[in-house]
Amino acid sequence: MVSHYKTQRQLKSYWRQPGNPRLKGLLLAALDNTGFSASDVGRAWITNADERQRHLQSVDNTRHLAAPVSQGYSPAAHDGELGNTHEESVARTLARKEFNEDDQERFLSGDATMDKDQYIQRALLNDSVTELDVLFREELETTIIQGAQPRKIFRDAAFIHNATKRKGDIPRVTDESHADVIAQGAEIETGQDGFDTVSFDCQKVARGFEISDEIINESEPDVVEQLAREAGAAVENTINRFGLVNLVDGAGQSFDADVGGTTDASAVQALNGGATEVDMQDFGEANAAIVHPRFEKAIFDDTNVVYANRGGSTEPLQDRQMGSIMGMERWKGSHGTYNGADDTKTLSPDGSWNYQDTDDIGAVAYNRDLFALVLWDDMDLVTKDWEDPIRDLQGSNVRSYVDAVWRQEDGGATVTHSTA
């Protein structure tokens, strides 16, 4: 038996580190090489909400646990849900229905809901294999979502369409944006020539990780937890890739920073020019922008921006939030997300995402409501664990189904430079 103090100190260290402390704690109790038994970990498990919060805050004020409420949780269906505060995520509860009838009576003792950590502690102390398996699987899902959360861009930068089928259609935004003034009894027009739709075809995005028996026996819980987070991050990166490629290639308008004459448009002027092209189409103003890192650099290399910073409006510029000054939210799309998309078998980008050579596309200004990220699956990010007894391997797969489509192409404009 390991001392209570040593076990508690180890568990507290998990709460003070990045990642999912619950998964690490469950692994501490489960792995043979740790020296900690299930009862050791159960007695020392942190169940006080204030103490959990205190340990989380010792990491930093920007960490988010991003934990699902239950196995049926769909992060894409709730705007901002992945950005919950610490305690909202940490002190979540499990519903009675997640256990069968025999286990309800034994573990809930008449209480309809119980704090998640009280569940874990009770399961550990009773060494209940069934309940620990359920809890472990949920914490694995939580960890995968944690890995995805810092990578998410298009969950925020697009209109989210939760599809009920893998393939289907969504209405195209009509170019007749104003209603008619009509006489009494006159025919009321629909505003569309027939029923115009945009088709989507969600593709499967998946990443797995595998661990040998030797690695399990030799590794710390942190290693296994990190592999799960990396798998979630990889899937989210490809979701962003679908978004960026379709956003750039499908935008119906464009602005060329080579405006003629001896002086080209600056990056700030070019981004504003792209926004103007969108505004002129009458589908709503450009309220979002995705920029290449080199385009971002060009914005803040502009001497006029430097002087404006010195002149008084310092805070937004020091925070590199030029987009907010222009009335647009701004995200960066990495160089490889677009240009390396050929590695993703279903994507073939049409252009060059950069801001250095002739005809590079450096940014897209667009109306966020007119570009849809389509996600198909009740649970969004789905996990499935597996075991290969022939090779002594265990692992888990993470998958999602995604597409990205324009609901109205003229709601976006690329920013290019026709000369190097």
In this structure, are 147 and 24 located in the same domain? yes
Which residues share a beta bridge with 291?
332, 363
pLDDT at 51 over 80: no
What pLDDT does residue 345 have?
Answer: 63
The phi, psi pair for 216, rounded to 5°, reads: -60, -40
79-100 per-position pLDDT tens digit: 333 333 332 232 222 233 344 4
Is the Cβ–Cβ distance between 419 and 261 less than 8 Å? Answer: no
Residue that finishes a domain, picked among 124, 151, 178: 151
399 has pLDDT over 50? yes
Which band of pLDDT confidence, cut at 50, 70 and 90, is reported for residue 246? very high
Closest CA to 326 of 300, 288, 367, 280: 288
* Mean pLDDT, residues 141-162 taken together: 88
pLDDT of residue 95: 31
Please indicate, yes or no, if residue 133 is contained in any of the structural domains: yes
Q: Is residue 370 part of a domain?
A: yes
Report which of residues 323 and 84 the model is more confident about.
323
pLDDT of residue 167: 95
Per-residue confidence (pLDDT) for residue 317, from 0 to 100: 53
Whether residues 140 and 247 share a domain: the answer is no
User: Would you call 182 exposed, middle or buried from its count of C-beta atoms within 10 A (0-12, 13-18, 19+)?
Assistant: exposed
Identify whether the C-beta of residue 420 lies closer than 8 Å to the C-beta of residue 356. yes
Top-confidence residue, 329 or 346: 329
Residues 136 and 275 in one domain: no
Residues 322-338, mean pLDDT to the nearest whole number? 81
Query: With bands split at pLDDT 50, 70 and 90, how would you rate the model's confidence at 204?
Result: very high
**Would you say residue 283 lies in a domain?**
yes
Domain assignment present for residue 220? The answer is no
What would the DSSP string read from start to end of 239-300? HHHHHHHHHHHH--EEEES--SSS-PPPHHHHHHHHHHHHHTTTS----EEEE-HHHHHHHH
Number of domains within the chain: 2
Q: For position 175, what pLDDT does the model report?
A: 73
Give pLDDT tens digits for 258-316: 877 667 888 888 999 999 999 999 888 999 999 999 998 888 777 566 555 555 555 55
Domain boundary among 151, 185, 206: 151
Give the per-residue pLDDT at 96: 31
pLDDT of residue 393: 73
Indicate whether 53 belongs to any domain: yes
Q: What is the pLDDT of residue 74?
A: 31
Query: Which of the listed ranges 81-90, 269-278, 380-389, 393-402 does the model predict with the highest average pLDDT?
Result: 269-278
| Least confident residue range of 157-166, 203-212, 221-230, 386-395 | 386-395
Instruction: Give yes or no for residue 199 having a pLDDT over 90.
Output: yes
DSSP H or E segment with residue 416? strand 412-417
Residue 44 lies inside a defined structural domain of this protein: yes
pLDDT, mean of residues 91-119: 48
Q: DSSP string of 168-212?
A: EEEEPPPS--SPPP--TTPPPP-SSSS--EEEEEPEEEEEEEEEE
Please check whether residues 136 and 269 belong to one and the same domain: no
- pLDDT tens digits, residue range 173-195? 877 777 889 999 998 877 665 57
Domain end position, chosen among 114, 132, 151:
151
Average pLDDT estimate for 103-131: 69
Distance CA 69, CA 91 (A): 10
pLDDT beyond 80 at 376: yes
Residue 111 has pLDDT above 80, yes or no: no
Q: What is this structure's pTM?
A: 0.79
Q: Which two tokens stand for residue 184?
A: 């009494």
Across 144-148, 170-174, 307-311, 350-354, the highest mean pLDDT is recorded for 350-354
- pLDDT at residue 365, rounded to an integer: 97
| Model pLDDT, residue 333 | 92
Note whether 394 and 280 are same-domain residues. yes
Whether residues 100 and 247 share a domain: the answer is no
| Residue 156 exposed, middle or buried by CB count within 10 Å (0-12, 13-18, 19+) | middle
Q: What is the mean pLDDT of residues 51-74?
A: 49
Residues 6+ apart with CB under 8 A from 261: none
Q: Which domain holds residue 268?
A: 239-417
Same domain, 145 and 248: no
Q: What is the pLDDT of residue 325?
A: 58
User: With 60 as the cut, is the pLDDT of residue 106 above it?
Assistant: no
CA distances from 157 to 131, 268, 330, 332, 381 (A): 38, 20, 8, 10, 18
CA distance linking residue 254 with residue 361, whole number of Å: 10
In a domain, residue 187? The reply is no
More confident residue, 312 or 212: 212
Tell me the pLDDT of the chain averaged across its residues. Answer: 78
* Residue 162: C-alpha distances to residues 71, 77, 203, 384 (Å): 17, 7, 14, 21
Q: Is residue 137 part of a domain?
A: yes
Low-confidence winner among 78-92, 138-152, 201-215, 406-420 (lowest mean pLDDT): 78-92
Same domain, yes or no: 260 and 129 = no
Q: Are 268 and 393 part of one and the same domain?
A: yes
Q: Are 362 and 338 in contact, with CB atoms under 8 Å apart?
A: no
